[in-house]
């Protein structure tokens, strides 16, 4: 086993276990948290963590444990949709640009440069503001901002792959450009795509929560982590649990996906196998 994987093995196991736990929570959340995340009970407002309310309650008496658990499904689903849309847009553009070259490559890459010229969060805020507040629009805004990174990645991979011997052999045997891309270039591009997607999943959770934090994402009473952290600021000095638990959920999720992506890169990159 190569050294990078061996050295990071314990963290990799922890990261995978955390991701699996998050997915399970997202799937069985309604059965795990029996309390209604939207039920208002003013008699229980801002209660500290207890047996009845493990994460305490908010200013409307809603159970924070239930809201954080239900927010797990929203956050993971948002991350999956963001990465899926970004890949669906960026991968074809990058492969066509890298394989075709010439003027088409120049035009497509200049379009991606327009998106990459702006800081991702600022551009996502602008797009979300145009679409209007809401979790669906925030997810779409982040996906629109991120697709150029996948286009750039696939262009680089395609530029390398189209000059390899097996591609030349397929071309000499009369294979069409579509077949070369689908049967030879795309399968050999899966490793960098998987690494990028695994790392971006955590970043998608963070950016989506960030848009909700500033009011451009999920709107009340949706139990979304970023929105809960934002609302909990007003009560932080006396009710620390309000912001801490959803904020900790964001931190753990982002860290788990980042560690998993880093370990996956070490395992899939052949240049690291002999270090």
Instruction: Confirm whether 42 is domain-assigned.
Output: no
Instruction: Confirm whether 171 is domain-assigned.
Output: yes
Domain that holds residue 239: 3-37+53-272
Q: What CATH number should be reported for the domain holding residue 99?
A: 1.10.3720.10
Q: What SS3 class is residue 57?
A: strand
Does 262 score more than 50 pLDDT?
yes
Domain count for the chain, please give it: 1
Instruction: Confirm whether 45 is domain-assigned.
Output: no
Instruction: Confirm whether 62 is domain-assigned.
Output: yes
The pLDDT confidence band at residue 87, using thresholds 50, 70 and 90, is very high
How many whole angstroms separate alpha carbon 59 and alpha carbon 153? 46
Looking at per-residue pLDDT, the higher value among 181 and 107 belongs to 107
How many whole angstroms separate alpha carbon 251 and alpha carbon 51? 24
pTM for this entry: 0.88
Mean pLDDT of the chain: 89
Instruction: Confirm whether 47 is domain-assigned.
Output: no
Q: Which residues of 90-127 are buried (b: 16+ CB within 10 A; e: fewer)?
A: bbebbbbbbbeeeeebeebbeebeebbeeebeebbbeb
Tell me 228's DSSP state. Answer: H
């Amino acid at each position: 086993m190569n050294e990078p994987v061996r050295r990071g093995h314990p963290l990799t196991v922890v990261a995978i276990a955390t991701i699996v736990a998050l997915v399970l929570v997202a799937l069985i959340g309604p059965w795990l948290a029996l309390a209604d995340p939207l039920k208002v009970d003013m008699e229980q407002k801002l209660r500290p963590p207890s047996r009845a309310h493990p994460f305490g309650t908010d200013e409307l008496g809603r159970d924070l444990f239930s809201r954080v658990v239900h927010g797990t499904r929203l956050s993971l689903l948002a991350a999956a949709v963001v990465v899926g849309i970004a890949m669906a847009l960026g991968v074809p553009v990058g492969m066509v640009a890298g394989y075709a070259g010439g003027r088409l490559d120049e035009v497509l890459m200049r379009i991606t440069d327009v998106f990459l010229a702006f800081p991702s969060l600022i551009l996502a805020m602008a797009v979300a503001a145009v679409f209007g507040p809401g979790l669906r629009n925030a997810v779409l805004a982040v996906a629109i901002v991120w697709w150029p990174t996948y286009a750039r990645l696939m262009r680089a991979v395609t530029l390398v792959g189209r000059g390899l011997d097996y591609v030349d052999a397929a071309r000499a045997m009369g294979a069409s450009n579509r077949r070369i891309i689908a049967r030879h270039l795309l399968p050999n591009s899966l490793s960098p795509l998987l690494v990028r997607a695994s790392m971006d999943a955590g970043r998608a959770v963070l950016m989506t929560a960030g848009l909700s934090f500033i009011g451009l994402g999920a709107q009340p009473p949706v139990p979304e982590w970023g929105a809960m952290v934002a609302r909990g600021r007003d009560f932080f000095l006396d009710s620390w649990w309000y912001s801490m638990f959803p904020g900790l959920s964001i931190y753990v999720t982002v860290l788990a996906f980042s560690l998993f992506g880093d370990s996956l890169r070490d395992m899939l990159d052949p240049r690291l196998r002999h270090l």
